[in-house]
Amino acid sequence: MAGIDVRALSVVYAGGVRAVDDLELTIADGEFFALLGPSGCGKTTLLRTLAGLEEATAGSVLIGERDVTAVEPARRNVAMVFQDYALFPHMTVAENIAYPLRVRRASRERRRAVAEDTSAELSLAGLLDRRPAQLSGGQQQRVALARAIAMGAEVLLLDEPLSNLDARLRLEARTFLKRLQRELQVTTVFVTHDQAEALAVADRIAVLDSGRLRQVGTPREIFQYPADTFVANFIGSTPMNQLSGRVVGRGVEVVGGTLPLPPGLDRPEGSAVTIGIRPEYLRLYACEAPEAVDGLRGRVSVVENLGVTTLVMLDCSDDIQVGVTVPEADEPAVGATVAAVPEPGRILVFDPDSGQLLTVAKPS
Ligand SMILES: Nc1ncnc2c1ncn2[C@@H]1O[C@H](COP(=O)(O)OP(=O)(O)OP(=O)(O)O)[C@@H](O)[C@H]1O
Ligand SMILES: [Mg+2]
């Protein structure tokens, strides 16, 4: 087993695209680590550079404390699962799984034994003699995974392994993947552009933007304390509310009302800030309720059914809307005027120019 160190890594393609830009990352031994970010942010390039399939322009990659920057892919002891699985169509499932052993000239018996063991672990027993074309997308994905595991590599690199699956299967597959990773305890780097998937499976997440690292943290840290407005916008199934405001005393005036300035944050009177608050961390009250004093007033314009919860959109002005998630039973009437009150400690304050988070408002 091995951890990974990425030191001042840059990867510049011919033509000048800086796909990875001065990246520093430390991934612990046995960690399930997600690389998350929008299309083109450099996730695949970083993964391929870890595998040795792409050359570092500057900086270095260490695996298990060994500098592998100049080491060829086959000698890095990493296994990569590609987005399209890259199975050999003319080989059976068993032959596909055991292929890495064939390359190493293992005996036929040994190959069959490893294929049988690995396939049992991945619920593929009974399919060993089929060819990839005779499998479902989920089964093909598991064969690709089984082949990577059969290599006995210290590091697993997975590039969007679930993206070819339909929504339902994708949920099952990610739970399966998480359980398998726990059992194997193999250091795993998992690429996705799906924030919900990263939050669900990863021990820690790195959020990338244009080849640069925006934030590294646990799913909870990234969800609750996004380092900047880019991360805040990217994470969460419902977008975080962002409101322009001005500091007045211990409060921030925004359209719709005044919100308390988080304790420990001092900003000069009158300074501009951006307030961030997730719809999940707002509560709705009738305007005359005593709690409503500290809230944002608005008129309910739209309610969206999210299943168990409902997303309520409040118009605080003609062009400022605030989203609030409420239990299904508390859904207000469209047209009602209500107050949205933040839960204590859930207000984030960002610098309006740089977008950086100014305070960490610990939940009380
Ligand atoms: N072989 C290449 N030559 C030149 N530019 C490339 C090459 N491969 C990727 N790029 C560019 O590098 C940047 C990062 O690409 P990369 O494939 O790593 O992104 P990604 O985060 O994996 O995106 P996606 O989510 O769409 O898979 C993009 O701007 C892309 O256009
Ligand atoms: Mg990619």
Q: Which atom of ligand 1 is nearest to the CA of 211?
A: 14
What's the 43 CA to ligand 2 centre distance in angstroms? 6
The three-class DSSP label of residue 242 is strand
CA distance 100 to 91: 13
Q: In this structure, which residue's CA is closest to atom 16 in ligand 1?
A: 42
Nearest CA to ligand 1 atom 8: 45
Q: Measured between alpha carbons, how far is 274 from 254 in angstroms, rounded to an integer? A: 9
Does position 49 have pLDDT exceeding 80, yes or no? yes
Helices (H), the chain: 43-51, 93-103, 108-121, 137-150, 167-184, 195-201, 219-224, 229-234
**Average pLDDT, rounded, for the chain:** 91
Helix axes 167-184, 137-150, angle to 10 degrees: 20
pLDDT one-digit tens code per residue, 92-143: 999 999 888 888 788 888 888 888 888 887 788 889 999 999 998 888 888 9
Q: Which domains does the chain have, with CATH numbers?
A: 4-234 (3.40.50.300), 241-350 (2.40.50.100)
pLDDT in tens, 171-228: 888 888 898 899 889 999 999 999 999 999 999 999 999 999 999 999 999 999 999 9
The SS3 of residue 131 is: coil
Give the least confident one: 15-19, 150-154, 258-262, 319-323.
150-154
Distance CA 71, CA 74 (A): 8
44 close to ligand 1 (CB < 6 Angstrom): yes
Q: Which atom of ligand 1 is nearest to the CA of 38?
A: 25
Please state the atom number of ligand 1 nearest to the C-alpha of residue 47: 18
Q: Do the beta carbons of residue 10 and residue 21 sit within 8 Å?
A: yes
Give the closest residue (by CA) to ligand 1 atom 29. 40
Which protein residue has the closest C-alpha to ligand 1 atom 6? 13
Phi/psi of residue 109, nearest 5 degrees: -65, -45
Residues present in the chain in total: 364
pLDDT confidence of residue 59: 98
* Ligand 1 lined by 45 (C-beta under 6 Å): yes
Distance 163 CA to ligand 2 centre (A): 11
Q: What is the DSSP string of 284-341?
A: EEETTSGGGGGSEEEEEEEEEE-SSEEEEEEESSSS-EEEEEEEGGGPPPTT-EEEEE
Q: Is the pLDDT of residue 288 over 90?
A: no
pLDDT tens-digit map of 59-106 = 999 999 899 999 999 899 999 988 778 899 999 999 999 888 888 788
In this predicted structure, what is the pLDDT of residue 364? Answer: 44
